[in-house]
Amino acid sequence: MGMTDAKRTNSAKTEELDVIIVGAGFAGLYLLDRLRGLGMAVQVFEAGEGPGGVWYWNCYPGARVDSPGPMYQFSRDDLWRDWKFSELYPSWQEIREYFHYVDKKLGLSRDIRFGRRVNEAEFDPVSNRWTVRSSDGSVTNARYFVLCTGLGSKPYIPELPGLSDFAGEHHHTALWPQQGLDLAGKRVGVIGTGASGVQVAQEAAAVATHLTVFQRTPNLALPMRQRKLDDDTIRRMKEDYPRAYQKRRTTFGGFDYEPIEKSASEVSEDERRATFERIWEIGGLAPWVGSFNDLLANEQSNRAAYDFWRDKTRVRIKDPALAEMLAPTEPIHPYGTKRPSLEQNFFDIFNRPNVSLVDLRKTPIERVTRGGIKTAAGEHDLDVLVLATGFDAVTGGLTSIDIRGTGGRTLKEKWAKGVQAHLGMAAAGFPNLLFVYGPQSPNAFANGPTCAELQGDWIVQLLNHLRQRNFTRVEATVPAEEAWRAQVIEIASGTLFPRADSWYVGANVPGKPREMLSFAGGLSTYMAKCNESAERGYEGFTIG
């Protein structure tokens, strides 16, 4: 059989599309709707059995968002007008309902293949198309391959000797059983005190016979100030939505507020304290991204913010030894350089007789046993073990797909020593491949839905530009991605972020290159740079 015949046979079996999108979270759904609206043949492939991205997987007790509900949705008025979250910080159940609502309203599911995990993708430089192979045996071919795999789609479980010996149930928070798991009356262990650990611990403390929290690093968690929203409140809030959605497109973090236009170092002690107090009362992420503009760059200002947080937190914890473990006198890392979580009663649960805290820095885990966890100090008996151990964040979702570009090299190989990604959306050697919420974009520093819309719009504009000119190929250049990487590193070096062993810099996964994975210059600056490239005929890309 000649080459042409082979191709013909192959294409008879292979579905041909304009665009394959991977992931049915905010980013994938936004792009599906927009690209379909342009008349393109688009499909979304999603490993989960329903829409929502991280909100499909993260159904552990207490899982909820840290962005306020009004900001954690699409900005389209035909969507927000008919939707209401019942709490300021909605739970995973309500966010899932929201996704089903959006799906129904926009008729998205007909172009989504659920339960289909993309395993491999290969670029053909002759046809300028991608061939994509998935877990269900399907082979699909498309001009463009757009990865909307998010920053938290690859759970990370550390080496825990003996884990398979554990007689009870153990689950990673992002692989929580869809049918749920009742923690009532159980002896529960939670490893990890990041966002998920804080949330699940709060729930477990209320129902478990005993809760043991295993902490490596204190979480500088901020008060959530959760509240129920009645119809009248929602109606009043909605009057402000058009302004807020307009505003969020222009801010540092994709929320409807900015840092204060003052540094903590330039104001008097009294003003600093009064400002910290005011912002503390607002709560949420405001004490992080809505405070003085030098908190994440100036060591003294940062220390002032830390001391304020520490004093506010310690008064809630009765036992001085526990207070020192949870809110140490001296900071373990600068304030805000690890993602602060939002807590409702996290620090109060340690006053309860059924809750204990283990400091893994002092007494590390030796092994998991049949009956629990053995640390250097003794054994903790457990019925359920919750692994709130986070993610191979930002890059993991992309590098776990075997993606082969022009040189036969995989994306994982290309990034083995560090990410190269022009504008955080495209990589040289991988034509017609684009990614949203990916490395070297503002991802972790920006509200998810805002990023999905803004990066999504940019990609839509690019693909439309190519189509209108009958181009079939777009690829980032090597000099452009090198310059972008240098810029990402330079911006980060002006901040305190590199000082913490966080997932922001890949430090939570052994062997992962230590590098800033996010563009720390703010979403508005980032989009200005993306738009500048577009205005200059997509500078930094070769198009043909």
For ligand FAD, the binding residues (CB under 6 A) are: 22-28, 45-48, 53-54, 56, 58, 63, 65-67, 117-118, 148-153, 195-196, 397, 401, 436-437, 447-448, 452
Query: What are residue 40's DSSP bridge partners?
Result: none
Rounded least distance, CB 468 to ligand FAD, Å: 27
Distance CA 398, CA 375 (A): 35
If the CB atoms of residues 195 and 480 are measured against ligand FAD, the closer one turns out to be: 195
If the CB atoms of residues 259 and 397 are measured against ligand FAD, the closer one turns out to be: 397
If the CB atoms of residues 298 and 440 are measured against ligand FAD, the closer one turns out to be: 440
Rounded least distance, CB 434 to ligand FAD, Å: 13
If the CB atoms of residues 295 and 452 are measured against ligand FAD, the closer one turns out to be: 452
Distance CA 224, CA 427 (A): 38
What's the burial of 120, exposed, middle or buried (CB within 10 Å: 0-12/13-18/19+)?
middle
Distance CA 502, CA 193 (A): 12
Query: What are residue 91's DSSP bridge partners?
Result: 64
Rounded least distance, CB 45 to ligand FAD, Å: 5
If the CB atoms of residues 224 and 317 are measured against ligand FAD, the closer one turns out to be: 224
Query: What are residue 113's DSSP bridge partners?
Result: 45
Rounded least distance, CB 422 to ligand FAD, Å: 19
If the CB atoms of residues 437 and 538 are measured against ligand FAD, the closer one turns out to be: 437
By C-alpha distance, which of 256, 226, 227, 231 is closest to 244?
256
Rounded least distance, CB 383 to ligand FAD, Å: 24
In angstroms, the first-to-last Cα distance of the chain is: 32
**DSSP code, position 436:** S
Distance CA 44, CA 60 (A): 25
**DSSP code, position 446:** S
Helix (H) or strand (E) holding 447: none
At 365, list the tokens: 């885990």
Rounded least distance, CB 388 to ligand FAD, Å: 10
If the CB atoms of residues 149 and 395 are measured against ligand FAD, the closer one turns out to be: 149
Rounded least distance, CB 308 to ligand FAD, Å: 23
Q: DSSP assignment of 407-439, as one string?
A: TS-BHHHHTTTS---BTTTB-TT-TTEEESS-T
If the CB atoms of residues 375 and 450 are measured against ligand FAD, the closer one turns out to be: 450
Helix (H) or strand (E) holding 480: helix 478-493
Residue 239: how many other CB atoms lie within 10 Å: 8
Rounded least distance, CB 303 to ligand FAD, Å: 27
